[in-house]
Structure 1
C-alpha cells in the first residue's frame, strides 16, 4: 500500500527533493511557487505515506534524517524518470514529418529541424540522408513526407509532385587527385578545363564548362571523390563541401566559373498535403531567408 501511495505522490516527492537541496522550507516553497504551509503539508503527507520521518526540524535549522538521506537518491530518480516520461510522451504525441535530403545541404536540414521544434505547436522531423534517385523513390512510395532534390527534375516527376523553396549552392572549387598539375595553382579558370574529364554527380553536364563529362550515379559526391582520387576525372564542388572533407589523395583548388551552381528545391506530393507539411515548407523558406 505504501508503495502505491508513493508512486501517486510525485508532487510531494518533488517537494522533498527541493527541501533537501535547500534545507529550508521557505526557500523550497519559493522555488516551487508555493506557500510555506503548503510545503510543510506536502512533506507531512509524504512522511505519513511512507511511515518515515524525512527531516529533523527546529526553530533554527532543517536537517535530513538518516532515513531521509537514504531515500533522497530514490526520490531524485523518481523525479528524473517522471520528467523523461513526460518528455517522451510529448515527443510521441508530436506530429512527425519525414524529410529526405542530400548530405550537401545537411546544415540547412538541421536549421529546419530546430525551427519546427521551436514553433507552437511543435512539429518533429525525422531526417533521412539520401541521394536524388533514392529520395525521389522514397517520396513516390510515401516513405518520406518531402525531399530536398537537385533540379530540374524529370517531367514525370514534375507532374506528380509540387516543388518550391528553391535555392542555389555555388560551385567554386575543383577537386583534383593529389599530385595533379593543377593542385598548386592559386585558382583554376573554366578555360583551363578543356580536354579534362569532368565528373558530374547527377544527370546533366556542368553548364558552361569545356571538357568531357562523365556522369556519376545519382548526386553522390563521396563516390565522385573516390573517382577523382583514382585519376578518373576532376570534380567541380561547392566550397562548403570542400571545407568539410579531409583526404590525403584529393586536393581542392578554387575554381573561377561564373554562374556554376547546383539548384535544389523542396518537393512534396500533391495528394499528401497536411498542416505539418505546410509548416515544413514555411520553415524551409524561413531558414533560407535567414541563413
Structure 2
C-alpha cells in the first residue's frame, strides 16, 4: 500500500528532494513557487504515507534523518523516471516521419529534422541512413514515409525537391600514376576502369565501367584501394574521408553531378509528409 502511495505522490516527492537540497522549507517553497505551509504539508503527507520521518526540524535548522538520507537517492530516481516517462510519452504522441537518406547527404537530413522539430506543432523525424536500393525497398514496403534517392527514382514513387551534388574529385590508389596530379581531365581517364553506380553511369567520362551498388562509397573506396578502378566522388566526401591507401585528386569533368530528390509513395500522402516536403525545400533554399 505504501509503495502505491509513493508512486502516486510525485509532487510530494519533489518537495521532499527540494527541502533536502536546501535544508530549508522556506527556501524550497520559494524555489517551487509554493507557500511555506504548503511545502510543509506536502512533506508531512509523504511522511504519513511512507511511515518514515524524513526530517528533524527545530526552530534553527532542518536536517535529514538517517531514513531521509537513505530515501533521498531513491526519490531522485523516481523523479528522473517520471520525467523520462513523460518525455517519452510526449515523443510517442507526436506525429513522426521516417526518412531514409544516403549518408552523403546526412548534413541535409539533420537540418530537415531540426526544422520539423522546431515547427508548431512539432513533427518528429526518425532518420535512417541507407543506400539507394535499401532506401527504395524500405519505401516500397512502407517502412519509411519518404526517402532521399539518387535519380532517376523508381517509377512508382512521386518525387520533388530535386538538388544536385557536384562530382569534382577522383579517388585513386596512392600508387597510381594520377595520384600526384594537381588536376585530372577526362582525357586522362581513357583506358581506365571507372567504378560506376549501377543506376547512373558517369556521363561524358571515357573508360570502362565497373558497376557497384548505389551510394555505397565505402565499399567502392575499398575497390579503389585494391586497384580495381577509379571512383569519381563529390568534394564533400573528399574532405571528410581520411584513408592512407587512397588519394583524392581534383577532377575537371565539367557538369558532372549526382541528382537527388525526395521520393514517396502516392498512396501514403499525409499532412506530415507535406510538411516534410516543405522542410526539404526550405532547407535547400537556405543552405
Shorter-chain TM-score above 0.5: yes
CA distance in 2, matches of 1:230, 1:136: 29
Task: Determine whether 1:264 maps to 2:282.
Answer: no
Equivalents in 2 of 1:62, 1:18: separation in Å? Answer: 12
Question: What are the residue-to-residue correspondences of 1:68-87 with 2, within 5 Å?
Answer: 68-87=68-87
Q: Distance in 2 between matches of 1:135 and 1:241?
A: 20
CA distance in 2 between partners of 1:28 and 1:91 (Å): 31
1:126 aligned partner = 126
* TM value normalised by structure 1: 0.91
Partners of 2:153 and 2:263 within 8 A in 1 = no
Q: Which runs of 5+ in 1 are unaligned?
A: none
1:112 counterpart residue number: 112
Deviation at 1:150, TM superposition (A): 0.5
Q: Does 1:58 align with 2:54?
A: no
> Hey, what does 1:171 align to over in structure 2?
167
Offset, 1:148: 0.4
1:202 aligns with 2:198: yes
Taking the aligned partners of 1:191 and 1:26, their CA distance within structure 2 comes to: 82
Deviation for aligned residue 1:17:
0.5
- Residue in 1 that maps onto 2:224: 228
Runs of at least 5 residues in structure 2 that lack an aligned partner in the other structure: none
Matched, 1:211 2:245: no
C-alpha contact (below 8 Å) 1:201/1:221 kept by paired residues: no
Q: Cα distance, 1:198 vs. partner?
A: 1.8
Give how far 1:270 is off. 1.2
Could you say which residue in structure 2 is the equivalent of 1:240? 236
Report the 3-state secondary structure (helix = DSSP H, G, I; strand = E; otherwise coil) of the residue aligned with 2:194: strand
Residues 60 and 258 of structure 1: CA distance in aligned 2, closer, same or farther (over 3 Å): farther
CA contact (8 A) 1:197 1:211 kept: yes
Q: C-alpha root-mean-square deviation of aligned residues, in Å?
A: 1.9
Partner in structure 2 of residue 290 of structure 1: 286
- Counterpart CA distance in 2 for 1:13 and 1:247 is 55
- The alignment of Structure 1 onto Structure 2 pairs a total of residues equal to 287
- CA distance in structure 2 between the aligned counterparts of 1:60 and 1:289, rounded to whole angstroms: 64
Cα deviation for residue 93 of structure 1 reads 1.9
Q: CA deviation at 1:7?
A: 1.5
Shift of 1:278: 1.5
- Kept in 2, the 8 Å contact 1:201–1:224? The answer is no
Query: Residue by residue, what CA displacement relative to the aligned partner does 1:225-284 show, whole Å, maximum 9, x if unpaired?
Result: 122122222111012112232223211112222222111000011110111111221222
Q: Is the 8 A contact 1:196 1:234 kept in 2?
A: yes
Residue 205 of structure 1 aligns to a residue in which SS? coil
Question: Does structure 2 retain, via aligned residues, the 8 Å contact 1:101–1:149?
Answer: yes
SS in 2 for 1:33: coil
Question: 4+ residue stretches of structure 1 with deviation over 6 A?
Answer: none
1:249 corresponds, among 245, 248, 260, to 245
Equivalent pair of 1:202/1:219 in contact (CA under 8 Å): no
Partner of 1:101: 101
Corresponding position: 1:5 with 2:5: yes
Give the distance between the partners of 2:26 and 2:169, measured in 1 at CA.
65
CA shift for structure 1 position 88: 1.9
